Chain A
Amino acid sequence: MWRHAWLACLLQPYLCLAAADANPFVAVPGAELHSALPLGKAQSVRVRAFLLQRHPVTSAEFLAFVVAHPQWQRGAVPAVLAGADYLGDWQAALDPGPLVMARQPVTRVSWFAAEAYCEAQHARLPDWYEWELAAAASATAKDARADPAWRQQVLDWYAHPGGGAPGAVEHGVANVYGLYDLHGLVWEWVRDFNSLLPPGTDPEKFCGSAALDEQQKENYAILMRIAMLGSLRAADTGRLVGFRCARSLEGAP
């Protein structure tokens, strides 16, 4: 039935607004982050408190956006802002079709499209450090990266991300901030994806274990993500590349 959700959106816009409310922004307190990214002489980076959406943006949420912003419908977007495969698994520009679940993360969206979506929510994409801080948490700890069980669980997904479409959001447990699915469903665009690899870096070399010290080996899953995001172009779309939005908190420490 949800396939006709766009009609409902047209006639009763509040239905779509309600859909947006189903992915609220959750506060992540500021912290010192020991990033997997090389920081030069510094040991850590200060991440200011921010808001992050509870789960990756879903197909239903993205459908409401393209209904309201027709220039982002498949077929209307210039190739330079979204590649040929943009929303390529949808049946039609305004119909995800029977194989795409309303509650699954939207994928095959370019960085430009993800940015435009967030802008329409008066938000932005998270910066890498913000995403990394949020994604370091388990259900019980803010920084679970040294916990072997948690690390193994994360690594298992990166090793076997699955061949099909991503599953529904919020199926597992929330992390300590109340955020879902930072690992296990999709990769996520970040605002500064084009800052992640030092200029001229070969992603394969960056990812290769020879280049990593012990501390970084513990973060191997995160480094894979950095290498993957850093190797993308902004118009690229990927079968497992989605996103969620963030907001700054004015005057946050």
Chain B
Amino acid sequence: MKRGGAAAAAILALLAASTGSGAGLPGDSLYQLHAELTTQQAATVGFDVYRGHPTLISMFYGSCPAACPMLIDAMQVYESQLDHAERARLRVLLVSFDAARDTSRALARISRLHHADTTRWTFASASESDTRRIAALLGISYRRMPDGDYDHSLLVTLLDSEGRVLGSTTKLVGDAEFAAKLRAATQIVSRAY
């Protein structure tokens, strides 16, 4: 009897597996990763917080002296090239490498410093393991240096509303091809969820 019960449970488990996780997401969607973010508003959201919208995503850290402020500026320049309606569809997610120092309060300060539109921009941090997973998923390499700085690659990735990669750039200025992809992505009216 006991054995039969175990086998039945196992079969149920196998059936459950075939339905998969990530409700209807395509297999190449980055939102297949389940990661938890803490935002500048101290809210806990999923990595797929902007599912349903074309989204720019990158990683940074708040105490970064030069490269990261430039990265954030560059993302603002890219979105400033869109018209009002296009920009209204776009979302921007910046995930910190440095959860220890980039608390919600620190993230909120960075957001204010850059006059980010918080209706469409999220600054967030994650646990050490989720941070590493998100970086791995995006193909961003990073290393914490002994002085507390981070050596990291600069990469901005554009996702469609379902989390699939449409393009990416390592150029902080003047990547015309990337800018064109961004415009095309924001011209398509996103499906609502």
Chain A residues with a Cβ under 8 A of chain B = 10-11, 13, 40, 42, 67, 70-71, 73, 76, 78-81, 111-112, 115, 124, 191-200, 230, 233-234
Contact = CB atoms under 8 A, between A and B. Distances in A.
Given A42-B146, A78-B32, A80-B29, A194 B151 contact: no
Contacts of B17: 70-71, 73, 76
Contacts of B152: 199
Contacts of B25: 78
B140 interface: yes
A124 B18 CA distance: 27
Interface stretch (B3-11, B49-57, B73-81, B177-185): B3-11
B174 interface: no
Nearest to A233: B139
B20 interface: yes
B16 interface: yes
Interface in B105-151: 129, 132-133, 135-137, 139-146, 151
B145 A40 contact: yes
22 contacts: A11-B7, A70-B14, A76-B18, A78-B20, A79-B27, A80-B27, A80-B33, A80-B137, A81-B33, A112-B33, A112-B133, A115-B129, A191-B132, A194-B136, A194-B140, A195-B144, A197-B141, A198-B141, A198-B151, A199-B153, A200-B153, A230-B141
B176 interface: no
A43 to B, nearest CB: 12
Contacts, number: 82
B13 interface: yes
B137 to A, nearest CB: 6
Interface of B: 3, 6-7, 10, 13-14, 16-18, 20-22, 25, 27-30, 32-33, 129, 132-133, 135-137, 139-146, 151-154
A193 B135 CA distance: 11
Given A80-B30, A199-B141, A200-B153, 12 more contacts: A10-B7, A11-B10, A13-B6, A71-B21, A78-B22, A78-B32, A80-B33, A111-B136, A112-B133, A194-B140, A199-B153, A233-B136
B136 A10 contact: no
Contact of A78 (B3, B29, B133): B29
B136 A70 contact: no
A70 B137 contact: no
A11 to B, nearest CB: 6
Contacts of A11: 3, 6-7, 10
A40 B140 CA distance: 21
Residue of A42, A71, A191, A199 with most partner-chain B CB within 10 A: A199
Contacts of A111: 136
A175 B13 CA distance: 40
Nearest to A67: B10
Contacts of A67: 10
A31 B52 CA distance: 49
Given A70-B17, A194-B142, A234 B10 contact: no
Nearest to A93: B17
A191 B135 CA distance: 12
